[in-house]
């Protein structure tokens, strides 16, 4: 399976969330790093102090909300693979973010390879998928593009597995699918009569026929 390289993203999100939550607590209550609202000699808030108190509460609530959101997000995030090889076909995450992976059956794949494709940012590692049928692959795939009506270029930037490894792992499955397709019997061309014989030839008894 090719997964995102950024496996430490949940950790970074958790640390950032804790920093925001601590900053919010300091602004709202602790005043260790932040300055408290201005007060007069009697300890009452000045006019400026009241304005500062309102601003502190607004910023504190925003920071606390963001911090809690990041911490919950760190627990909820589950990096899903961008591509994977299974016995049934090739899994690709080419739908919109949040959508399930698309399964491309092996019998629908004519060729699978890796290449470096030039784009506006330079050369990008790419998984090249040649298909006979598009199936469930979107017309406008995410992080991918249709180079031709049957050639899909999947951007592999950021994968923890080289796209060539995906292509290599798929070889046995592609060969098995081709062998299976070649073994499927095909009727010869011709008109079938009511008995299923090509050319309309009469169907007579065969010495190997067994009456039941």
Out of 37-41, 66-70, 204-208, which region has the weakest mean confidence (pLDDT)?
Answer: 204-208
Residue 193 placed within a domain: no
The pLDDT score that the predictor gives to residue 41 is 80
For the chain, the average pLDDT equals 81
Burial pattern 48-73, b for ≥16 Cβ within 10 A else e, equals eeeebeeebeeebeebbebbeebbee
Same-domain status, 172 and 92? yes
**Could you tell me the pLDDT band of residue 196, with boundaries at 50, 70 and 90?**
very low
The pLDDT score that the predictor gives to residue 210 is 37
Same-domain status, 88 and 146? yes
pTM of this prediction? 0.55
Q: How many domains does the chain have?
A: 2
CA gap 2, 128 in Å, rounded:
15
pLDDT digits (tens, 9 = 90+) for 123-141: 889 999 999 999 899 999 9
Same-domain status, 89 and 171? yes
CB count in 10 Å sphere of residue 45: 15
In this structure, are residues 166 and 2 in contact, taking their beta carbons and an 8 Å threshold? yes
Element (H, E) at 66: helix 47-76
Place of tokens 């304005």: 51
pLDDT digits (tens, 9 = 90+) for 3-51: 454 556 677 888 999 999 999 999 998 888 888 888 888 888 888 888 9
The pLDDT score that the predictor gives to residue 85 is 93
Q: What residue numbers bound the domain in which 71 lies?
A: 9-76
């Amino acid at each position: 399976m090719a997964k995102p390289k950024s496996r430490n993203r949940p950790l970074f999100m958790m640390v950032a969330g804790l920093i925001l939550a601590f900053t919010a607590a300091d602004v709202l209550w602790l005043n260790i790093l932040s300055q408290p609202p201005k007060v007069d000699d009697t300890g009452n808030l000045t006019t400026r102090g009241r304005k500062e108190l309102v601003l502190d509460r607004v910023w504190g609530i925003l920071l606390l909300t963001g911090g809690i959101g990041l911490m919950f997000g760190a627990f909820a995030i589950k990096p899903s693979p961008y591509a994977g090889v299974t016995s049934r076909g090739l899994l690709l995450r080419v739908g919109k973010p949040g959508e399930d992976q698309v399964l491309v059956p092996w019998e629908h794949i004519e060729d699978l390879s890796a290449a470096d494709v030039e784009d506006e940012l330079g050369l990008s590692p790419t998984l090249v998928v040649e298909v006979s049928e598009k199936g469930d692959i979107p017309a406008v795939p995410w992080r991918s593009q249709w180079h031709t009506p049957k050639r899909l270029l999947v951007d592999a930037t950021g994968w923890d597995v080289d796209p060539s490894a995906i292509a290599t792992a798929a070889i046995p499955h592609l060969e098995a699918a081709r062998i299976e397709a070649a073994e499927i019997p095909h009727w010869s061309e011709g008109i079938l009569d009511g008995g299923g014989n090509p050319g309309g030839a009469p169907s007579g008894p065969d010495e190997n026929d067994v009456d039941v």
